[in-house]
Amino acid sequence: MITDNKGQISAEFLLLVGSLIVVMLIALSFIASENELSLAMSAARNGVGEGSSYASTAIYPKETFDDYSRANNLLLIPSSVEIINISYTEMGHDSNFDKNKIQFKVYAHSSKDLDKKELDSIGDRINYNLRKSIALTFESTKSTNKLYNPVFSPHYIFTTANVKWV
């Protein structure tokens, strides 16, 4: 009895190709998630750079701006802030938005002798610019508030912790 093996080869080939497609789809999902976090980190670095260098990009309520103008002029001009590190922590799944929550934390140092209130103000400016940069990167400015808190991407919610002064 003679058997024809031509059908066997194509079935094995289809099984192999099908398995490769499944593996590629799983890998693509992982790569897309990592790419999103890489884009967010890059945007965070850009925003932190702006926030630590320029006071003109900060949002100040009128009373705060007037207070800074009278007593704290150092906060309205570029400050000598050195960014030590920017990191993020995965905070788990947020069931309200059905996305994973990421919290950024900035470590900074100021060569000027500033009090806690002034450092907190500069820290707020840094965090504001960090969140704004992420919102602009993911084009999600319409889905957040004026302070860009929280910021959304397709799979994540981004927030910031207070700047840690070292």
129 within domain boundaries? yes
User: Each residue of 49-61: pLDDT tens digit?
Assistant: 888 776 544 555 5
18 within domain boundaries? no
Ordered alpha helix ranges (H), the chain: 6-53, 62-71, 116-137
40 within domain boundaries? yes
- Average pLDDT, stretch 105-121? 86
Report whether pLDDT(36) > 70.
yes
Among 43-47, 98-102, 111-115, the minimum mean pLDDT is found in: 111-115
User: How deeply is 103 buried, as exposed, middle or buried, from its count of CB atoms within 10 A (0-12, 13-18, 19+)?
Assistant: middle
- Give the number of domains in the chain: 1
Position 92: which residue type?
A: G
d(CA 112, CA 79): 8
- Token pair for 24: 């590629």
User: Each residue of 80-107: pLDDT tens digit?
Assistant: 788 999 999 999 999 999 999 999 999 9
75: domain range?
Answer: 34-165
Residues listed for the chain: 166
pLDDT of 56: 43
Predicted TM-score of the model (pTM): 0.72
Q: What percent of the chain has pLDDT over 90?
A: 38
55 within domain boundaries? yes
The gap from C-alpha 94 to its chain's centroid, in whole angstroms, comes to 16
17 within domain boundaries? no
20 within domain boundaries? no
pLDDT of 113: 80
- Average pLDDT, stretch 116-138? 90
28 within domain boundaries? no
Report whether pLDDT(78) > 90.
no
d(CA 130, CA 137): 11
13 within domain boundaries? no
Of the two residues 66 and 158, the one the predictor is more confident about is: 158
